[in-house]
Chain A
Amino acid sequence: MTQPNPLRDPRDRRLPRIAGPCGMVLFGVTGDLSRKKIMPAIYDLANRGLLPPGFSLTGFARRDWADQDFAQIVHDSVKAHARTEFREEVWKQLAEGFRFVPGDFDDDHAFDQLRRTIEELDEERGTGGNHAFYLAIPPGFFGDVVGQLKEHGLSTPRDGSWRRVVVEKPFGHDLESARELNATLGEVFPPGSVFRIDHYLGKETVQNILALRFANEMFEPIWNNTYVDHVQITMAEDVGIGGRAGYYDGIGAARDVIQNHLLQLMCLVAMEEPVSFDAENVRIEKEKVLASVQLPARLDKTTARGQYAAGWAGGQKVEGFLDEDGIKKSSTTETYAAVTLNVATRRWAGVPFYLRTGKRLGRRVTEVAIVFKRAPHLPFAASSVEELTQNALVIRVQPDEGVTLRFGSKVPGTQMEIRDVNMDFVYGGSFTEESPEAYERLILDVLLGDPPLFPRHEEVELSWKILDPILAHWAKQDANGKGRPEAYPSGGWGPKSADDMLARDGRTWRRP
């Protein structure tokens, strides 16, 4: 890009960014992720006119399919899950770019065919040698696939074109495996060409955290340990593990959610103002947060874990985790995890960050709550402020995206009775009803080569450094029989040990 495009103008903000000529190769086309998220997002992007003309999607799987069979799978998934209206003409032009290559990950012949397919696409559809490889497959196969890509010359771009690889969590299961995984990918693709998807970072409300903090004057002055008492970051799911026993057993809630989503949310809440909002500068600030995290000395008192028990959730009778198909009775995989983290910086010293996540909890909700200290002095009778708790600023990530401010207010008609009230800003029903899915934004960013929303391997490794001692502590408890995940009733808010964990600090969990 030597000379600027005269038709583009930074002031012309109506013009959407359209990806340049390119194609995507999707490994693992039959998985949930592909069918529920990736394929619909690709259609939605096409419908919004953001994919380049001639965009092509190549499926690779161990299925005896022709191109049309693959197109049918995509068609069904788009019909069922796409966000935008189904339009025949959009579908037609998109479907012309569908190809399918059958084969195993160790099948040289199949990868040869994949290379030929891509070369043909460059010829027929003008994809220009630019291709993204989306590995929607278990990480155990990453090594095989990227090895094959390298061997068959698929990973090296010609001059003036690009090759990128897209991977999903889990990014390993501990520091060591994460390093191995990064080494595997790094052998074939340079760091700038590896895109790790943490779909939380594609969410509008998560991006709004940075807008809220750094575009406003009234929050940042109180965003520190002078005013903030503690921070609670919650991601609760109302469902169980469903049919994912094979994936979930041995992984558990901490690896599945805390390592990526919750630590990323914590970074955005805790980080200092970046020099600018480009990828490099935001990453530097996020890494500083992760690097300054310190674990409390007594992990037995500052962490909690649990497994959901059989019971009633939302009016339905549900099975306990240990009764789920494919889960051993003796499994110590946690479905609930809560941890206490300290961010050792001048801004956050003495402000604990409580992170919790779990399955089969009361409702599906993700939120960040900044809980403020009590007013140093209350010039009211003690009885007037009995119902007044601590002020809080809650960033609701999903569902019902928005911001809640919680403060005390006089109850009308009483002499002086002060009670908590909520002031809501609803982002969801308003701005975002028409706003894109996280996957649309992220896939488009991959095709544009725009990296700010993707965690780099340094962040992944730092996250594991935080989590590894906790996981080791739990494993030790399991081994010497001193503890195991506590059963908690389905449909509630987690095990008692998690409540005790906060009670020791004189605090309670918000009911989200």
Chain B
Amino acid sequence: MIELMDTNAAQIAAEFTRARARAGSPAMGMVMTLVIVVDEDDAEDAMKAARAASHEHPARVLGVILGDGRGAPQVNAQVGTGSGWSGETAVIRLSGEVVKHAESVVLPLLLPDSPVAIWWPNHPPEDPAADPLGRLAQRRITDAASATRGKTRAIHHQCQVYTPGNTDLAWTRLTPWRALLAAILDQRPVKVTSASVTAERISPSADLLAAWLVDRLKIPVERKNSNGPGITEVVLRTNQGDARISRPDGKLAVFSVPDRPDRPVALKRRELPELLAEELRRLDEDDVYAETARRLVALEGKRTK
């Protein structure tokens, strides 16, 4: 790691080039730029997750830490390559007036002609797509479950301001659940008449899952509470009986469908690096998430009316 104090984008870019030459491999195998906008407190964990995800998606990772907006503008950076990274990394600390103009530092550091993803591990902007940094990216990743207060409001808000390219890790967390639920109907094409989703009282993922089921199956879906962890049970009611996936411990689920023996199935809650890697796998618009987000907003509107 090279420390650059009171620096600018050009010097950071020059350091990237020098670091590559020092490492003896001047070629760039990176496929995207990942910008992480994060607090000082969470920076280390976020960079660690990005490092793990960079094995699958070699990226230039720019950690942007927005400091105190008062005082003289200052840009400090730590630049590095190698040692566990299959890409390049810079942690850029901004303070003073430049905090409001972070995009001016990030823009010159984007890899030419390749996709940009941005991730807010905690405090996302009001409207990610309108955010000056968010505008640089075609994939904008938020995480409603990381909100310290008002997680439910956080996911509703993200769904309200949905713009193509937005995505939330609360949605990513659902993929294994959705895959198993789809597998139930793969196996027997029956008509589902109603459904229920049971989870911790506050669970953005559970809200999204319920909205997805309503949207796809056009049925009423009941949202029930349990002590968690996360989502604990989903039931699809059909005219041939109930199909059910229950996961009381966050690891192992029981899969039961009518007229078939119950079967255990591994359904582990996934860690951040896995979620991030899934998110980076596809960078085009997620149409199914778009429809689910729209449905969640509509359901909420009906409920509060």
Residues of chain A having any CB pair with chain B under 8 Å: 1-3, 5-9, 11-16, 18, 20-21, 46-47, 49, 52-54, 87, 89-90, 92-93, 96, 123-126, 128, 423-426, 429-431, 433-435
Contacts and interface: CB of A to CB of B under 8 A. Distances in A.
B189 A89 contact: no
B185 A54 contact: no
Interface in B216-255: 216-217, 251-252, 255
Contacts of B183: 18, 20, 52-53
B179 interface: yes
Given A15-B178, A46-B266, A126-B261, A430 B29 contact: yes
B264 interface: yes
30 contacts: A3-B189, A7-B217, A8-B182, A11-B288, A12-B287, A14-B288, A15-B175, A16-B175, A18-B179, A18-B186, A20-B187, A21-B187, A49-B176, A53-B180, A53-B263, A53-B264, A53-B265, A54-B255, A89-B266, A93-B252, A93-B264, A93-B266, A124-B261, A429-B86, A430-B29, A430-B31, A430-B58, A431-B31, A434-B55, A434-B277
Contacts of B278: 14
A431 B58 CA distance: 7
Contact of A429 (B29, B172, B187): B29
B267 interface: yes
Nearest to B52: A434
Given A6-B217, A20-B183, A89-B266, 18 more contacts: A5-B186, A5-B189, A8-B182, A8-B186, A9-B287, A14-B282, A15-B179, A18-B179, A46-B266, A49-B267, A53-B263, A87-B266, A90-B268, A93-B265, A424-B29, A425-B29, A429-B29, A429-B58
B interface secondary structure, majority? mixed
B292 to A, nearest CB: 10
B305 interface: no
Contacts, number: 123
A interface secondary structure, majority? loop
Given A13-B282, A21-B187, A430-B58, A7 B264 contact: no
B86 A433 contact: yes
A429 B178 CA distance: 31
B161 interface: no
Contacts of A434: 55-56, 277
B211 to A, nearest CB: 13
Given A12-B288, A49-B179, A124-B261, A87 B216 contact: no
Nearest to B252: A89
Interface centre among B178, B263, B268, B288 (most CB of A within 10 A): B263
B27 interface: yes
A6 B216 contact: yes
B9 interface: no
Given A5-B186, A9-B288, A54 B29 contact: no
A104 B178 CA distance: 43
A423 B217 contact: no
**For the complex of A and B, 5 pairs with smallest distance between CB atoms:** A126-B260, A93-B264, A54-B263, A53-B255, A53-B263
A47 B58 contact: no
B181 interface: yes
B12 to A, nearest CB: 23
B176 A426 contact: no
B189 A1 contact: yes
Nearest to B264: A93
B139 to A, nearest CB: 13
Given A426-B29, A430-B29, A430-B58, A7 B252 contact: no
Contacts of A128: 187
A128 B86 CA distance: 44
B182 A5 contact: yes
A12 B174 CA distance: 13
A3 B190 CA distance: 9
A411 B264 CA distance: 64
A97 to B, nearest CB: 9
B208 to A, nearest CB: 13
A13 B189 CA distance: 21
Nearest to B55: A433
A57 to B, nearest CB: 14
B56 A7 contact: no
Contacts of A3: 189
A21 B287 CA distance: 29
A237 to B, nearest CB: 27
Interface string B59-101: 0000000000000000000000000001000000000000000
A444 B98 CA distance: 52
Interface in B258-276: 260-261, 263-268
Interface string B26-55: 010111000000000000000000000001
A467 B28 CA distance: 42
A159 to B, nearest CB: 15
Contacts of B180: 18, 49, 53
Contacts of B252: 89, 92-93
Nearest to A423: B27
A5 B188 CA distance: 9
Contact of A92 (B175, B260, B264): B264
B157 to A, nearest CB: 23
Contacts of A89: 251-252, 266, 268
A2 B189 contact: yes
B262 to A, nearest CB: 9
A363 B262 CA distance: 50
Contacts of B27: 423-424, 426
A239 to B, nearest CB: 28
A317 to B, nearest CB: 33
A96 B287 CA distance: 38
A461 to B, nearest CB: 35
Contacts of B286: 14
A490 to B, nearest CB: 31
